[in-house]
Structure formats: C-alpha cells, structure tokens
Amino acid sequence: MKMVNFVHTVLDFKKLSPAQKIATSFLFVILAGTILLMLPISNRDGQFFSPIDALFTATSATCVTGLSTVTIADQYNWFGHLVIVLLIQIGGLGLMTFMAVLILILKNRLSLNEKIVMKEMLNQDKVFDMKKFLLDILRYTLFFEAIGTIILSFRMIDDYGPIDGIMKAAFLSVSAFCNAGFDTLGSTSLQGYVHDPLICITIMSLIVLGGLGFAVWFDVRDKLDTLFHRTITFKKFYKSLTLHTKIVLVVTALLITIPSALILILEYNNPQTMAGFTFPEKVMSSTFESIALRTAGFTTINYANITAGTQMLMMVVMFIGGSPGGTAGGIKTTTFAMLVIYMINMLKGRDNIVVLRRHIANSTIIRAMGIFFINIVTLLTGIFLLSIVQPEAFNMISFEAVSAMATVGSSLGLTSLLNFGGKVIIILLMYVGRIGISTLIISLVKSRHHGDAKDKINYPDGTIIVG
C-alpha cells in the first residue's frame, strides 16, 4: 500500500500541469543519475567523478542523446554502465510510463488525471484505453531489446567472451532501440564493425523500430492480423492504416533512402571514409549513417573526415529526427511532412490541405509551424552561445548543437573539447530537445483559466502584407 501511495505521489503532482510533470520527471531522473555517476562505485578509478561531467553523461543518457565528454567504456565500470543503461531505458520510454505501469500492476487502474499526463507524455491526441497501450509498450520494448541482445551476442561473445559479450550486447540493444547512441565498446563507436552485416543490420532495425513510434507499431500489428489470415489484400491493408501511420511510414522510408543515396554519392570516393569499401559495403555504410542520424548517434565511419556537403546533409536529417510517440528526437517526421504538404498546397493556391483524401485541420498546420519556428530559434540561440564560449570551427559548433537538440549524439569531435560553459549549453539543449520545447515553455508559463474574459473578446480583422 505504501508503494502505491509513493507512485501516486510521483505521478500525480496535484498542483502541476501535465507539461510540468513531464519536465519535472526527466529532471528528477537526470539528478538521480548524476549523483550515482559521481560516486566512486560507478567509476573504474574508484574516485569521485567530476560533477559537471557526471551531469552531462546523465543528461545525455536520460535524453537518449549519446554525447559524452568521456569514453564510457574507459571511465565507468559495470555498475556505472548499469546506471547509464537504466537511464537510457527510463529516458527512452519516460519515467511517467514506468510509474503508470507500476500503478497498473499494483492498483489495476489509472485516474483521469494520470491518463491525461500519459496522453501528453506519449504524444497522443486523446485519452483512450491507456492500460493496454502502456502494457503493450513495455512488453514489445522488452521483446525487441531481447531479440536484439540475442542476435548481437553472437558477435559480441566471440569478441569479448560470454559474460562481457552478453553485457555489451544488451547495452547496445537497449541503446539502439531507445535511439541513444551509447556503447561500451570504446571511443570509435561501431567503426570496427563497419563491414559486419550482422551488427549493422541489427542496429539499424532496432533504431527504426524505436523511432517509428508506439502508435504506429500497434496500428500495423492490428491490421497485419487480418492480412495474414488473408481476409484482406495488401492494398486494403494499406488503406486500413491510419493517416498518421501512413505518413510516418512514407516519410521514414524517404528520409532513409534519400539521405542514404546522397551520403553514398558524397562519400563514394572520399579516401578517408568509404573509398576503400566494396560497393555493397558502401551501400550498407551509407544506409547505416542515414538511419543512425535519425537521433541514434552510432557511426561506422569517422565523422571528422566527412565532406562539408555530408555535414550539412546530416544536420538537416538530425533536425528532422524520428516520429512522435517513440524514442527519437528532432522536430519529428510528421511535423516535417505537414510543413512540406502545406507549402505544396500553398504554391498551388489551395486553401484546404488534403492528404490521402483526408482533410488536415488548420490547427495541425499551425502547431507544426510553431514547433518548427521554436526549434529553429532555440537551435540558433544555442549555436550563438556556443560560438561565444567555444573557440572551435563554426561547422563543429553547429553540428554539435543540432546533434544535442535533436538528441542524436553524433559529433565532429567537439564534445571532448567542451569547456564548462559549452557543457552547460549542450546539457540544456539535450534537455529541451528530449522533453520538447513546447512542453518546456508550457511548463514554465502559468496557464490562464478558460473563463478569462479576454479570451471571449472578438476583435476586427487586421491586414498585414507578407512575403
């Protein structure tokens, strides 16, 4: 009974809005992780670790980013690695998700207030059967991570032995599924496995599964049942999917294939990256980088040697990120899709936005524009501040800022060179990037009552010339 009351207290902050609860929960996990990572028990040298670096690592893990000022494999021991992987798991799914599942196990129901918080946490547009949804999230997450661990173990056991190999495989699987980008292999990420299809394909699959979003999983799962039983054709199966699922799948496919092809072209003859690869290896490597840039942060090539064109392309892909309701960051694929669709319709002179025979409400377009604008302003502010405190090249600073805010974890080598001010700026970018800038703003601004008289006043239309 005491456990139920404690979980209730954590999840049901009576005086906080849903946005404030989300922001506070991530902050709570980060601070707890920072304390644990500072302790001698977490570090190989048995000494207390630097507070700012511990905070940086805890923030990066909880915000599933992957940036680190130290080499995880060298700085932390097995206990430190356990703390980090738990932070990744909690950060990927959200503390509120775990608390809600615990309440369901102990109490078997959620209050309306708790359901509203979870609706916001999971980026859903309405309150629904939250119990089944949450339990399915946990069940499928553990299933995919377990399968990933088993497959990766075949290679890791050969390279590191049974116990260490399984531990590294499990860490890598959780990190990949949660789009975190952390590993315990060393300072070169997965560059040692650039020609290994087993590792590369498994990691790519986990990243895509984690980045699609839970709602997409369950929509496809439910419709696949009728397809497998041959009660509908594949064409009808596709039509039966929700509009959200269709847009996510199409945009995800495009954002994998197009950047992959461009990376292949840009790096094809680069002697410091892919020039020495066979053609199939080049295709696999470029596809891996395209997928990993969708907020995962793993790499099979040295980013310090990529061309300027590839750097620019990667920043764009990182900024877009994955899909809502999953473990990825960025402005999200659906936001990007709404902006592109709106621009196409605007150029054609259409007032109504229609996608796949479905009308898109103006409020959705306005929200997408708002998310894009706020993210751009935040990113530019971060780049500006970093350029003041860090003496490194502008492209390194810009790349680092985009990677942090989109919770990717890729770097051109700046992370290890960050001074105290640079670390603080990157920490803040990772935090606001994970919880969502709009969520942070809402949590900081005191909401007005719906009955505010000013909201009921209708003003005459004004004319402004734009463009």
116, pLDDT greater than 80: no
| pLDDT value of position 448 | 46
**pLDDT tens figures, 410-458:** 999 899 999 999 999 999 999 988 877 666 665 565 544 444 555 557 6
Lowest mean pLDDT among 32-36, 130-134, 252-256, 425-429: 130-134
| pLDDT value of position 18 | 65
Of 466 and 90, the one with more pLDDT: 90
Q: Crossing angle for the helix pair 130-160 and 78-93, nearest 10 degrees?
A: 150
Average pLDDT over residues 6-19: 56
Of 456 and 199, the one with more pLDDT: 199
- Dist. CA 221–CA 124, nearest whole Å: 18
Q: How confident is the model at residue 278 (pLDDT cuts 50, 70, 90)?
A: very high
**pLDDT tens figures, 325-336:** 777 788 888 899
> Tell me, what DSSP letter sits at residue 27?
H
Lowest mean pLDDT among 85-94, 143-152, 265-274, 424-433: 85-94
- Dist. CA 223–CA 235, nearest whole Å: 12
Task: Give every CB contact of residue 207 below 8 A, 6+ residues apart in sequence.
Answer: 176, 177, 179, 291, 292, 294, 296, 298
Question: Cβ(270)–Cβ(305) under 8 Å?
Answer: yes
- Dist. CA 109–CA 105, nearest whole Å: 8
129, pLDDT greater than 70: no
Question: Cβ(64)–Cβ(75) under 8 Å?
Answer: no
In this structure, the number of other CB atoms found within 10 A of the CB of residue 126 comes to 5
Average predicted confidence (pLDDT) for the chain: 84
| pLDDT value of position 377 | 92
User: Which of 390, 392, 196 is CA-nearest to residue 304?
Assistant: 392
| pLDDT value of position 119 | 56
Q: How far is CA 388 from CA 67, 337, 375, 404, 408, in A?
A: 20, 34, 20, 17, 23
Q: How confident is the model at residue 362 (pLDDT cuts 50, 70, 90)?
A: confident
Average pLDDT over residues 275-300: 91
**pLDDT tens figures, 335-360:** 999 999 999 888 888 878 888 888 88
| pLDDT value of position 329 | 81
Domains of the chain are 2-320 (no CATH), 333-442 (1.10.287)
Q: What percent of the chain shows pLDDT beyond 70?
A: 81
Lowest mean pLDDT among 88-92, 135-139, 148-152: 135-139
Helices (H), 161-242: 162-177, 197-212, 214-228, 234-240
Q: Crossing angle for the helix pair 243-267 and 308-320, nearest 10 degrees?
A: 170
**358-360 and 353-355 as β-strands: parallel, antiparallel, unpaired?**
antiparallel
- Dist. CA 227–CA 224, nearest whole Å: 5
Average pLDDT over residues 11-33: 75
Place of tokens 């738990």: 86
Q: What percent of the chain shows pLDDT beyond 90?
A: 48
Backbone CA torsion sign across 303, 306, 312, 316: negative
User: Which of 340, 319, 215, 196 is CA-nearest to residue 259?
Assistant: 319
H or E stretch at 355: strand 353-355
Lowest mean pLDDT among 10-24, 47-61, 79-93: 10-24
Question: Cβ(55)–Cβ(427) under 8 Å?
Answer: yes
| pLDDT value of position 186 | 84
Which residues make beta-bridge pairs with 354?
Answer: 359
**pLDDT tens figures, 313-324:** 999 999 998 888
Contacts 24+ apart (CB under 8 A), 138-141: 138/93, 138/97, 138/101, 140/214, 140/217, 141/93, 141/177
284, pLDDT greater than 60: yes
162, pLDDT greater than 60: yes
> Tell me, what DSSP letter sits at residue 191?
G
Which residues make beta-bridge pairs with 353?
Answer: 360
Q: How confident is the model at residue 87 (pLDDT cuts 50, 70, 90)?
A: very high
Average pLDDT over residues 386-398: 95
Q: How confident is the model at residue 207 (pLDDT cuts 50, 70, 90)?
A: very high
Of 212 and 153, the one with more pLDDT: 153
Annotate 278-307 with DSSP letters as a single string: -HHHHHHHHHHHHHHTTTT---SS-GGGS-
9, pLDDT greater than 60: no
Please tell me the pTM assigned to this model.
Answer: 0.86
Tokens of 356: 């796949």
User: Which of 430, 422, 359, 361 is CA-nearest to residue 396?
Assistant: 422
**pLDDT tens figures, 37-77:** 999 999 999 999 999 999 999 999 998 888 999 999 999 99
User: Which of 167, 202, 200, 187 is CA-nearest to residue 85?
Assistant: 167
